[in-house]
Amino acid sequence: MMPAPEILVVDDNPADVTLIRESLAGTFYQSSVHSVSDAATAMDYLKREGKYKTTVRPDLVILDLKLSTPDGHSFLAKLKSEVDLRPIPVVVFSSSKSAADITRSYELGANSYVSKPADLKRFFSAVRAIEEFWFGYASLPPKETHERSRYSHSAD
Amino acid sequence: MASAETCKPGHKPRLLLLEENEPGEDPTVQELACDGSMSPSHPEHSPEKLHHWLSSNHICPCGPRQYAERELAHKLEELARSNHELEQFAYVASHDLREPLRMVAPYTQLLAERYRGKLDKNADQYIEYATDGALRMQALIQDLLTLSRVGREPVPLQPVDCNAVIAEVVRDLEPTISESGALIQFGKLPTVPAHPSEMRRLFQNLIGNALKFRGKERPVIRVLAEPAGRHWRFSVTDNGIGIAAECQANIFKIFERLHTRSEYPGNGIGLAICQKIVEQYDGKIWVESQLGRGSSFRFTLPKGVPEPPESES
């Protein structure tokens, strides 16, 4: 039995985090959802530093853009510039539909960009579609090789 | 001859007014500035000084016409600035209002979904009112945002084929069209310089209205265009309920609604958006209608990109 997928939600709006949790409650994949509300904590979480020494590395990051400084874009840039964090897929999940935000996200290495739907049903199905795609269809780098790649590959 | 540009606010004196005093006394001098303000007697008004002023460039040669032109240019500039600020405000307000509302609407929906029938009858009713209000407000804010976005397109105008636009709009309105059994006819339509999204919005609102305000018989909606000098004159004609003559002047005003929301849903922004779109292309929009006999919305759009006005020499 595969372990349940781990999702890290980086979003400072508790109402959105709750909706994301509600969306994923009782789905087939039974993802376990963790959330942090700012970029610095998210970085600790991903690097398993500070109080996150024992946490499991997430399989997917769902990232809001409107964070307190540093904002989502800066966090994304930092994450994608770290060799051992770069393989973790990041889905930007933001209320913004602005072309500038979307383009910037992809430029910085986002793996996809999804606008938060205003309607409840569409919100639920968007989050479930993200889960379905990444854990049902996409192939992810095996967890251990995240660790191994640090030693066996040079930084590209 | 001085042009209006040489005349700056606060530039003075424009004129020296001399009042003759008793013989033997020096005349009293007053300065009349370009901005119309009069300053009291000049302290140094010896005939020598006066002569110096008159012969030097101390006196602004602006006439009343230049003065008026300068004032007008200033007022226009102020008006443009205040209009721009208002538009900016409407844009930012509607944009930022969406964010908190994005929390209200889904959560009232969630409440309705999870707790309908589990509280009491009153609670169900309250939740329904709240959900309905939140959804309507979302639509309203979206329309206000659309309205304030008209003319903010950062890209230049491009040739827009109105036939393609109508085909797309008809596809978008398909559920309403098939439900009402409407017949949409359109002749060969021209290609105009415009923003595609705005043309889509324009036709969508007009055809959408024609479907919404339909009469008892099967709706027939006709979209035509004909040349009218340097413009195309379009018409979107329906056989719907029509508009009484006394109401026709107001329908393009924002929030103007002729019917209650329960009769016809809507928030009174659709035609205001149409007007803003047409007018920003230097066109005109109006309606010809008789109550009970259908309406024909007419608008003009330039055939080509308007030439920049020649600079005045």
C-beta separation of B236 from B221 below 8 A: yes
Verify that B279 and B208 share a domain, yes or no: yes
Say yes or no to pLDDT of B289 above 90: yes
Domain assignment present for residue B307? The answer is no
Domain assignment present for residue A21? The answer is yes
Looking at B149, B171, B203, the residue that finishes a domain is: B149
The chain-wide mean pLDDT, for chain B, equals 82
Domain assignment present for residue B71? The answer is no
With H, G, I as helix, E, B as strand and everything else as coil, classify residue B160.
strand
The total number of structural domains in chain B stands at 3
The pair of structure tokens assigned to A147 is: 């660790």
Predicted complex ipTM: 0.71
The set of long-range contacts for A81-85, using a CB threshold of 8 Å and a minimum separation of 24, is A83/A149, A83/A150, A83/A153, A83/A155, A83/A156, A84/A146, A84/A147, A84/A149, A84/A150, A85/A46, A85/A47
Tell me which chain B residues have a C-beta less than 8 angstroms from the C-beta of A15: 103, 107
> Once rounded to an integer, what is the mean pLDDT over residues B154-170?
91
Domain assignment present for residue B194? The answer is yes
Domain assignment present for residue A92? The answer is yes
Give the sheet arrangement for strand B231-237, strand by strand: B183-186, B220-228, B231-237, B295-302, B285-289
Verify that B290 and B245 share a domain, yes or no: yes
C-beta separation of A59 from A32 below 8 A: no
pLDDT the model gives residue B17: 55
pLDDT the model gives residue B82: 86
Rounded to a whole number, what is the distance in Å from the CA of B102 to chain A's nearest CA? Answer: 5
Domain assignment present for residue A78? The answer is yes
For chain B positions 126-155, those within 8 Å of chain A (CB to CB) are 138
List the domain range (segments joined by +) for residue B100: 82-149
pTM above 0.90, yes or no: no
Verify that B169 and B271 share a domain, yes or no: yes
pLDDT the model gives residue B33: 61
Domain assignment present for residue A50? The answer is yes
Domain assignment present for residue B245? The answer is yes
Q: Answer yes or no: do B106 and A95 touch at CB < 8 A.
A: no
Verify that B174 and B225 share a domain, yes or no: yes
Domain assignment present for residue B225? The answer is yes
Verify that B163 and B115 share a domain, yes or no: no
Domain assignment present for residue B99? The answer is yes
Q: Helices A39-47 and A72-81: crossing angle, nearest 10°?
A: 20
In terms of average pLDDT, the best of A131-135, B18-22, B138-142 is A131-135
The total number of structural domains in chain A stands at 1
The H or E element containing residue B143 is helix B121-149
Verify that B201 and B223 share a domain, yes or no: yes
Tell me which chain B residues have a C-beta less than 8 angstroms from the C-beta of A120: 105-106, 109-110, 113
The pair of structure tokens assigned to B279 is: 């007018």
Of A117, A13, A112, which is closest to residue A61 (Cα–Cα)? A112
The pair of structure tokens assigned to A97 is: 């539909």
| pLDDT tier for residue B103 given thresholds of 50, 70 and 90 | confident
Whether B61 and chain A come into contact, CB under 8 Å, resolves to no
Amino acid at B1: M
Residue B301 DSSP label: E
C-beta separation of A127 from A148 below 8 A: no
Tell me which chain A residues have a C-beta less than 8 angstroms from the C-beta of B106: 19, 118-120, 123
Domain assignment present for residue A74? The answer is yes
Instruction: Tell me which of A29-38, A143-152, B105-114, B280-289 is least confident.
Output: A143-152
Say yes or no to pLDDT of B268 above 80: yes
Verify that B14 and B91 share a domain, yes or no: no
Verify that B145 and B164 share a domain, yes or no: no
Domain assignment present for residue B76? The answer is no
Verify that B212 and B290 share a domain, yes or no: yes
Tell me which chain B residues have a C-beta less than 8 angstroms from the C-beta of A125: none
| CATH code of the domain covering residue A46 | 3.40.50.2300
List the domain range (segments joined by +) for residue A99: 6-152
Instruction: Tell me which of A8-22, B21-35, B279-293 is least confident.
Output: B21-35
The H or E element containing residue B17 is strand B15-19
Say yes or no to pLDDT of B68 above 90: no
Q: Answer yes or no: do B105 and A118 touch at CB < 8 A.
A: yes
Domain assignment present for residue B72? The answer is no
Verify that B175 and B298 share a domain, yes or no: yes
Q: Answer yes or no: do A15 and B98 touch at CB < 8 A.
A: no
Verify that B144 and B168 share a domain, yes or no: no
Whether B105 and chain A come into contact, CB under 8 Å, resolves to yes
Domain assignment present for residue A122? The answer is yes
Tell me which chain A residues have a C-beta less than 8 angstroms from the C-beta of B110: 19, 22, 120
Verify that B29 and B101 share a domain, yes or no: no
Partners of B189 in the β-ladder: none
User: Can the peptide bond before residue B106 be classed as cis, meaning omega within 30 degrees of 0?
Assistant: no
| pLDDT tier for residue B19 given thresholds of 50, 70 and 90 | low
| CATH code of the domain covering residue B230 | 3.30.565.10
With H, G, I as helix, E, B as strand and everything else as coil, classify residue B193.
strand
Of B125, B9, B142, B135, which is closest to residue B67 (Cα–Cα)? B9
Q: Which residue of A has its CA nearest to B108?
A: A120
Domain assignment present for residue A131? The answer is yes
